[in-house]
Amino acid sequence: MRISVIGTGYVGLVSGAGLASRGHDVICVDIDRAKVEMINRGEPPIYEDGLEELLKALVNTGKLKATWNIEGAVIHTDITFICVGTPSKEDGGLDLSYVEDVSESIANALLKKEGYHVVCVKSTVLPGTTDGPVRELLEKNGKMAGADFGLAMNPEFLREGIALKDFMEPDRIVLGCLDKRTEEIMGDVYGDIDAPKMVTDLTTAEMIKYVSNALLATKISFANEISRLCERVKVDVYKVMDGVGLDHRINREFLNAGCGFGGSCFPKDVLALVNFARKNEVPTHVLDAVLEINREQPGHVVTLLEKTLGNLEGKRVAVLGLAFKGDTDDIRESRALPIVKELVKKGASVVGYDPEAMKNFSFMVDYIDYADHMEEALRGADACIIQNDWSEFKDIDKEDLAVMRSKVVVDGRRLLDPDSFDDDVTYVGVGRG
């Protein structure tokens, strides 16, 4: 099929590359001409494991190309995916301006488009958005959804770092469809993927996305709250959660304690769901607590360091991992940011290191040092905090720590085996007791 994907961020570019790799002809659209030129050279403007190699192959074979011409892309394709950002507003609601601008552009293009064209929202939007503002804008020129064009909502469930794998081997595919014809066309898009496919109305599909992320965030905050109790009574929260997770009703996934959740989805989506519920006069006691625990957790990590190292004034602390997780350069809502701010507030001298995210992080934080490699970050440090789970950090051994002034390690991701270190290493793991 001929598919246009508007927006070339983590969702749009990964989805476009994934669809092209399955045989569809894909046109990626972005208003940023520099991004368009990069994609047409086979260079992804974001870091995602495996994306660069795949993109180069797809561009070379002509299965994927990029343009800044929305109208041309819509006219020459059968389906358009809307994959633009929906950032948070100050009150926690969503800024739909990008989605609305794109919807207007598509509406204008549909006037020149012959045949049935499906418009599919893949951006994360609150329940009622696709069948509300998006539909209204698409119909502004007189063409009607369900008659002249199709309308769908297909939420993404991509985890950054392994997004390509998630696209190729999804747990499920949710298709919110306005009409039967749209359902059949969307079914053809994903027809060769062996995964459960759930067809719903538009609003249910939107709600599924939010509730999925809210529940996963709840599991993380629950594990972090229990980890503090485990530290007090000197038991290991990971062993506790191993036992709890054996219950098939609970499952072990997302029950790891750490520095808290970050990224482009969980913090924004939980906050938006709380805001949406408040506007509908529904209290959200559980989700309020989820957000509060997540706000507190980076400070708790710094407190663990303080209890071990003492006064942080003048101490050199290496923060390993600046992206919100490993295998990505995305720093949105990274727990490294509040950790660094708290360390600096307490008088510490901070040096940061991340294999991919230092450039992005330095745009936001220009008051710390940055190291070109892990050894440089650790050299002369009084302590280090492991904030994310890059594989490089999983392999830290006693030789790596030998360059530190005092070997204090706060493992915020529980990557290391403390039994592998000599007695001169002070290891503190979140929730380890």
* 3 state DSSP class of 325: coil
Report the alpha-carbon angle 236-242-245, nearest 5: 135
Ranges of H-type helices in 62-149: 70-75, 97-110, 135-138
Single out the catalytic residue among 83, 120, 177, 265: 265
Report the alpha-carbon angle 261-15-35, nearest 5: 90
Phi and psi angles of residue 93, each rounded to the nearest 5 degrees, phi first: -75, 180
Q: How far apart are CA 257 and CA 323, in angstroms?
A: 17
Q: Using alpha carbons, list the distances in angstroms from residue 193 to 48, 50, 63, 157.
A: 21, 19, 19, 15
Cβ atoms of 84 and 123 closer than 8 Å = yes
251, two tokens: 């499952």
Cβ atoms of 51 and 8 closer than 8 Å = no
217, two tokens: 């965030």
175, two tokens: 């298709």
User: Which secondary structure element, helix H or strand E, spans residue 429, and what is its range?
Assistant: strand 426-429
Does residue 265 have an active-site annotation? Answer: yes
Question: What are the residue numbers of the active site?
Answer: 265
